[in-house]
Amino acid sequence: MLISLGALFGLAAQVGARHIPSSLNSLSLIEYPRLDSRSSANDIVTWDSHSLIINGERVMIFSGEMHPFRLPVPGLWADIFQKIKALGLNTVSFYTHWALMEGKPGDYRADGIFDLEPFFKAAQQAGVYLIARPGPYINAESSGGGFPGWLARVDGEPRTTEGDFLNATNIYMSSLCESFAKAQITNGGPIILFQPENEYLGTDGEYMQYIIDQARSAGIVVPFLNNEIGPNGKNAPGTGVGEVDIYGHDGYPLGFDCSSPNTWKSGKLPVDWHTKHMQQSPSTPYAIAEFQAGAYDSWGGYGFDECAKLVNHEFERVFYKNNFAFGVKIFNLYMAYGGTNWGNIAWPGGYSSYDYAAPIRETRELTREKYSELKLIGNFAKVSHDYLVAVPENLTTSTYTNTPDLAVTCLRGQNGTGSFYVVRHDDYSSLNSTRYRLKLPTTSGVIDIPQIEGKELTLNGRDSKIHVVDYDVGGTRIEYSTAEVFTWQEFGDKKVLILYGGAGEYHEISLRASGKASILEGPLSGATLRRQADKIIIGWQTSERRIVEVDGLQIFLLDRNSAYNYWVPSLSTGQKQNTQSIIVNGGYLVRNASLEGPNLLISADFNRTTQLEVIGAPPSAKNLFVNGQRIRYKADNNGIWTSKIKYKAPKIDIPDVTRLKWKYLDTLPEIGSSYDDSTWTDADQPTQNQDYPIQTPTSLYGADYGYHTGYLLYRGHFNATGNETSFTVTTRGGNAFGSSVWLNSTYIGSWIGSANEGSHKSTYSLPELITGQAYVLTVVVDNMGLDEQWGGYSVKNPRGITSYELSGRKAAEISWKITGNFGGEDYVDKVRGPLNEGGLFAERHGFHQPSPPVKPWKTSSPLEGFSSAGIGFYTASFDLDIPVGWDIPLSFKFESGTGNKGYRVQLYVNGYQFGKYVSTLGPQTVYPVPEGVLNYRGKNWLAVTLWAQDEGGAKLDGLGLVQSTPILTGMNAIEPVAQPKFEPREGVY
Ligand code: IPT
């Protein structure tokens, strides 16, 4: 039972910045009722051993992952949903991030950019289902894996039933799950499945059960799906306490090392997943809850363009079709769209871009071939109903082909339904082109294919094909096709089937037909049409488009690259799979279509002048509108409408940001002789972190004082004896972090960071100190995000100073002050959330927000920089005037540093931190910022913090605002997000 949430922590009101967060322990556990999942399950989403059944419709869940918190512009969510739906996918899986929603214990916030209502609405409108994955642990290469930093003050191991950890999850989980509950399909919303926890690694069933009960108590009635790290059967139905309704597992077969992206190491293609499924969860649909759709990359890594080569269109062909060979029926791709680690949401292993080499780029552009390839696979899955009940058989290299170089899996049709043969190279990484023949059992006996004499099929290297047998196309039975199915649709008394093959390949189809076959379009040579008893056999060499008609069925024979241009928008809204659609041979993107009286409306995007063909326009349609504009078209004899969309890129005035009127402020006044830190937080507490006992007299862990994000600053006061010769300090900020030390205003030294060191001990020699004089050590530590919670890492891993020694002195003779972001857990900027700003002077004051008080500031640009170690703050404004109706992604680009000089940059755009750049590590130099954070028609404020970790100072070697190819778009106009301006902050220091 849920009891009053607000009362749980009994937190005292926090006053000013000096407040030290109180203990979060000592409450007794809430007992949630243990509801029997299945008995409470609704009858709208059900399942059997084959697939999910939604509102009576048997359906494959083909899903792409995106994280609303990684695209903080709610107006753009629809764009991503439409781009995922256009792939032929029907579902989006999403995480939410606890630390962003409960920055202060007990203070759950889901407003503005963190409000999920618009996310649910946009999904509903775009016609995609949702899989909700709230955690509380999510991993996701995000700070703490979603865990808030204040868990360091909670007794007990996170992700266990220990101590007060479970209590700490209650407010987030119950508040969030209540909002999910309202958005479930049972209430007319898009949510169809719910995932408790994430890749739960432990064995504590009670812990899983607690989360399940927590969600059920908040009203979740859709089935629970888990995502075990691999196919081991943990928490599968029948395993007892902590079991889910539908067992699922994850898989990242090529991993995350993008250093040699053309090498597919041997043995990485899964082979036994169906066998395991039959042992582990035979009564549930085979579910892969996350499957590799890209890769993350780390500081000092290779960049997402390299990862996109590793996990490219060929990877999709071979690995995704291999999953089809296992009979996957719930299939989620991680990520379909990665987004951005803005505002410190990255884990220390990753940089600002979370592009992920996904099918949809971080800039939302569709310029990767893997998007197009996925569209072919997605649309095939959508129309291949018999796949949903076909049963996988064993892989064989002998039964169905004439060469042992190929491995084939049959998905056997049941009671006369269609079968599917998944063909790949036995050595999955082979680069060979292999010639082959097929021997396929059909309902009219085993057929030797090709049947046309002298022909052979080809499987190119790193390709895989699904050959259909006894395939139903709206009542017409395709006996077999060696060319792959993109889609088929019925248009009144006509039908269209679209097949594709690799360039130059020979293909063959046989179908039952009474009439004669004729070529309506395309070359006669290279094609054979033959009647054989009650069948028509068509053989052809893939070349330019051919349209063959047989008994009212138009078969389009395409090469793969042409097929990439086809889209199948549904004419109705909603998620239902079997709907009336049209087929559009367009270009860059077709978002959706609808019929309003005599008007056929298409929403589409163009990156060049494009010939648009509409196939299957309903007879009642007379007029064509594209993005609201009436377009002239010609209808040919085959009923295809052809029109031309003119594209002329607008000339856009992008400011040269190096020439803006930059204003400069020294944002490390702390090293000035008159700096007063009396209102800073005293670092005089013992630690509340049970897992990491302190090695210092008092705790210097940020989390003990409520500081969990961005730069941390320390002031260590002592009176010199004159014996101090060196200062040794271990700072800890997570991989790639850096730190710098000053004694009064004298620069002592820096740790400039390394990609694999999360903690570093430095010994600095000190200048001669004057006996009896008061000194201050100022230490700045970069927090790269909190560690995730797995493999020995923990969100409780401290950030800040973990040990120090001032030679000749006792540690206790230094008294410390600490600050991070102003207010700590009582963060000021509720709009941009608890993690966005760090502890620099300018950040504490809010100068990174629009319209800071720059009048008295010096004029100087970050390209001039400064010539001693220190931290500078630069801000400037500029206007943009981007025409409506164009989607033009913009990015900031840093020139990589000259030499080895260490410096660290934070980039703020209208108050949102949209980039961390580390000159010595990279690899990221280009930082996309979405429309909506940038005001495309109006004023923008840019701010740069520049931390020179070198006595020679630092300057940017270059900074540019760069545009991508303008896209003429059918996307809705984007409302900018709230961008609160600078306002003086009370009590700020
Ligand atoms: C798995 C996580 O569930 C997901 O959150 C994300 O971290 C993903 O992989 C990698 O990008 S973790 C798995 C690789 C062990």
Active-site pick, 65, 102, 199, 837? 199
CB 65 less than 6 A from any atom of ligand 1: no
Find, among 104, 138, 127, 100, the residue nearest to 116 by Cα.
Answer: 100
d(CA 537, CA 508): 7
pLDDT tens figures, 160-170: 999 899 999 99
The residue whose CA has the least distance to atom 4 of ligand 1 is 140
Count Cα atoms within 13 angstroms, Cβ side, for 17: 26
Looking from the CA of residue 252, the nearest atom of ligand 1 is: 14
Strand ranges of the sheet holding 634-635, from the earlier edge strand across to the other edge? 566-567, 583-585, 610-615, 641-645, 634-635
Nearest CA to ligand 1 atom 9: 140
Q: Is the C-beta atom of 95 inside 6 A of ligand 1?
A: no
Q: Provide the pLDDT for residue 32.
A: 76
Give the model's pLDDT for residue 28.
57
Q: pLDDT digit string (tens) for 405-426?
A: 999 999 999 988 999 999 999 9
CB of residue 229 inside a 6 A radius of ligand 1: yes
% the chain with pLDDT above 90: 93
Residue 31 has pLDDT above 80, yes or no: no
Q: Tell me which CATH code domain 54-366 carries.
A: 3.20.20.80
Q: What is the pLDDT of residue 11?
A: 32
Burial class (CB in 10 A: 0-12, 13-18, 19+), 642: middle
Q: Which residue has the tokens 């781009």?
A: 83
Does residue 900 register a pLDDT over 70? no
Mean of all residue pLDDT scores within the chain: 95
Pocket test for ligand 1, best of 159, 290, 333 (most atoms within 8 A of CB): 290
Tens of pLDDT, residues 959-986: 999 999 999 999 999 999 999 999 999 9
Query: How far apart are the CA of 254 and the centre of ligand 1, in A?
Result: 13
Q: Is 410 helix (H, G, I), strand (E, B) or coil?
A: strand
Indicate if ligand 1 lies below 6 Å from the C-beta of 250.
yes
**Spacing, Cα 111 to ligand 1 middle (Å):** 27
For residue 669, the one-letter residue type is: P
Q: Report pLDDT digits (tens) over 446-482.
A: 999 999 999 999 999 999 999 999 999 999 999 999 9
Ligand 1 centroid to Cα of residue 362, in Å, is 18
Q: Residue 613: in which H helix or E strand, if any?
A: strand 610-615
- Residue 356 alpha carbon, nearest atom of ligand 1: 11
The reported pLDDT for the residue numbered 1 is: 31
CA–centroid distance, 139 to ligand 1, in Å, is 6
Which residue's CA is the closest to the ligand 1 atom numbered 10? 140
Nearest to residue 838, comparing CAs of 919, 885, 783, 904? 783
Does the fold of domain 669-819 match that of domain 657-663+840-968?
A: yes
Instruction: Report, as an integer, the average pLDDT of 776-781.
Output: 98
CB of 905 within 8 A of CB of 915? yes
pLDDT digits (tens, 9 = 90+) for 284-309: 999 999 999 999 999 999 999 999 99
The whole-number pLDDT of residue 896 equals: 73
| Centroid of ligand 1 to alpha carbon of 135 (angstroms) | 13
Atom of ligand 1 nearest to the CA of 229: 15
**What are the angstrom distances between the C-alpha of 272 and each of 253, 278, 507, 695, 735?**
13, 10, 30, 49, 36
Residue 157 CB less than 6 A away from ligand 1: no
Q: With b meaning 16 or more CB within 10 Å and e meaning fewer, what string describes 413-436?
A: beeebbbbbbbbbeebbbeeebeb
Residue 616 corresponds to which tokens in the numbers above? 């299957």
Q: Mean pLDDT over residues 878-895, rounded? A: 97
Phi, psi of 909 (to 5 degrees): -125, 115
Matching residue, tokens 């494009």: 610
Report the atom number in ligand 1 closest to the C-alpha of 788. 7
Q: Is 199 in the pocket of ligand 1 (CB under 6 A)?
A: yes
Atom of ligand 1 nearest to the CA of 138: 5
- What DSSP designation does 958 have? -
Residue 577 in this model has a pLDDT that exceeds 80: yes
Read out DSSP for 166-233?
HHHHHHHHHHHHHHHHHTBGGGTSSEEEEEESSS--S--HHHHHHHHHHHHHTT--SPBB--BSSSS-
Catalytic residue among 102, 290, 484, 724: 290
Q: Is the pLDDT of residue 26 over 60?
A: no
The tokens for 805 are: 């020694």
Rounded to the nearest angstrom, the distance between the alpha carbon of 63 and the centre of ligand 1 is: 16
Q: Is 197 in the pocket of ligand 1 (CB under 6 A)?
A: no
CA 350 – ligand 1 centroid, Å? 13
- Residue 733 and residue 499: Cα distance in Å, rounded? 54
Q: Over 60: is that where the pLDDT of 4 sits?
A: no
Q: Whose CA is nearest to atom 13 of ligand 1?
A: 229
What's the CATH superfamily of 609-646? Beta-galactosidase, domain 3 (2.60.390.10)
Q: Whose CA is nearest to atom 5 of ligand 1?
A: 140
Fold of the CATH domain 669-819: Jelly Rolls (2.60.120)
In testing the pocket of ligand 1, which one of 199, 225, 310 has its CB within 8 Å of the most ligand atoms?
A: 199
| Pairwise CA distance, residues 439 & 314, whole Å | 26
Q: Where are the domains of the chain?
A: 54-366, 389-587, 609-646, 657-663+840-968, 669-819
94 lines ligand 1 (CB under 6 A): no
pLDDT band of residue 587 (cuts 50, 70, 90) is confident
Structure tokens at 157: 């191991």
Any ligand 1 atom below 6 A from CB of 296: yes
pLDDT at 873: 98
Cα 760 to ligand 1 centroid, rounded to whole Å:
27
Give me ligand 1 centre to Cα 333, in Å.
11
Per residue in 346-380, pLDDT tens? Answer: 999 999 999 999 999 999 999 999 999 999 999 99
- Average pLDDT on 328-351 reads 98
Q: Is the CB of 142 under 6 A from ligand 1?
A: no
Q: Is the CB of 198 under 6 A from ligand 1?
A: yes
239: pLDDT strictly greater than 50: yes
Is the pLDDT at 10 greater than 70? The verdict is: no
Residue type, 272: D
Nearest C-alpha neighbor of 795 from the set 207, 10, 132, 153: 153
Report whether residue 291 contacts ligand 1, using a CB cutoff of 6 Å: no
Distance CA 114, CA 835 (A): 13
What mean pLDDT comes out for the span 873-900?
91
Q: Is 139 in the pocket of ligand 1 (CB under 6 A)?
A: yes
In the residue annotation, 931 being an active-site residue is answered as no
Give the pLDDT score at 973: 93
**389-587 is classed CATH 2.102.20.10:** yes
Regarding the beta carbon of 843 and ligand 1, being less than 6 Å apart is answered: no
Contact of 392 with 409, CB cutoff 8 Å: yes
Relative to the CA of 141, which ligand 1 atom is closest?
Answer: 7
- Confidence band for 220, pLDDT divided at 50, 70 and 90: very high
On the question of pLDDT at 6 being above 70, the answer is no
- The token pair at 124 is 């509903």
Q: Does the beta carbon of 485 sit less than 6 angstroms from any atom of ligand 1?
A: no
Is the pLDDT confidence value at 317 over 80? yes
DSSP 445-462: EEEEE--STT--EEE-TT
Cβ–ligand 1 contact at 290 (below 6 Å): yes
Element (H, E) at 874: strand 870-881
* 511 bridge partner residues: 478, 536
Does the pLDDT at position 16 exceed 80?
no
Is there a catalytic annotation at residue 479? no
Say what the pLDDT of residue 7 is.
34
Does the beta carbon of 252 lie inside 6 Å of ligand 1?
yes
CA distance 321 to 314: 11
Ligand 1 geometric centre to CA of 74 (Å): 25
Tell me the pLDDT tens digit for each residue of 90-144. Answer: 999 999 999 999 999 999 999 999 999 999 999 999 999 999 999 999 999 999 9
Separation between Cα atoms, residue 201 and residue 182, nearest integer Å:
30
Distance 140 CA to ligand 1 centre (A): 6
The residue-averaged pLDDT of 579-585 equals 96
Q: How far is the CA of 200 from the centre of ligand 1 (A)?
A: 11
- Alpha carbon 42 to its chain's center: 30
Q: Which CATH code of 3.20.20.70, 2.60.120.260, 3.40.920.10, 3.40.50.300 fits the domain covering 657-663+840-968?
A: 2.60.120.260
Indicate whether residue 788 lines ligand 1 (CB < 6 A): no
Specify the pLDDT at position 725.
Answer: 97
How many angstroms separate the CA atoms of 282 and 235, rounded? 14
Nearest CA to ligand 1 atom 8: 140
Q: Whose CA is nearest to atom 15 of ligand 1?
A: 229
pLDDT band at 39 (very low <50, low <70, confident <90, very high): very low
CA–centroid distance, 133 to ligand 1, in Å, is: 13
